[in-house]
Amino acid sequence: MKLVLSFLLLTTISFSALAEVDLVQVVKSERKMYLFDGSRLIREFDVALGANPKGHKQQEGDERTPEGRYQLDYIKEDSSFYRAMHVSYPNELDKQTAKERGVSPGGLIMVHGQRNRLGWLSLLSQRFNWTNGCIAITNDEMDEFLTLVPVGTVIDISWERLP
C-alpha cells in the first residue's frame, strides 16, 4: 500500500511539474481554486476567502474578494501570511468606481498561505472564510502553487463557475 501511495504521489508531482499553468480560476461559491494548462485541469485547491464573499469588492474593508479578470503580478515573500502572490486588484475600472462612490477601492489582494506562526491551524482555517478579501490556501499548497504558477498568469475570480 505504501509503495502504491508513493508511486501516486511521485506521478502527481511529475505530472504537475510538466504543467505550464496559464489560468487560475477561483469559484467563490464553491470555495475552490483551479489551475489550468490550456483546457486541462492541473490542480484544485480548497480556499478561504474574504469573510463577506458574495459580490465584487467595492471598497477597502468590505471583506470581499474581488471578482473579475486580473493578473498574478508579483511574489511577496515578506508577507504576514507565509508566502503570497499579488492579485492586480484594483484595476482602472475598480479605481474609477470607487472614486465615484467616494471610497478607497482597497488593495493588497493576495493568494497566500496561513498567517505566520499559525500554520498549524491550516486544516481548521480552510473550513470557513476568514481573510479580508484575499484567497488563502495551506502553506504546503502555497509552496506548490508558487512552483506551478508563473508571475503574469491570469486569474479569473467569479461567484459561479465560468463557461
Q: Active-site positions?
A: 112, 134
Q: Are 26 and 131 in contact (CB under 8 A)?
A: no
DSSP string covering 117-153: T-GGGHHHHTTS--BSS-EE--HHHHHHHHHH--TT-
Q: How far apart are CA 127 and CA 80, in angstroms?
A: 20
- Give the N- to C-terminal CA distance of the chain in Å, as an integer: 39
Q: Are 64 and 53 in contact (CB under 8 A)?
A: yes
DSSP string covering 85-118: EEE--S-HHHHHHHHHHTS------EEE-PPTT-
- What Rg do the C-alpha atoms of the chain give, in angstroms? 16
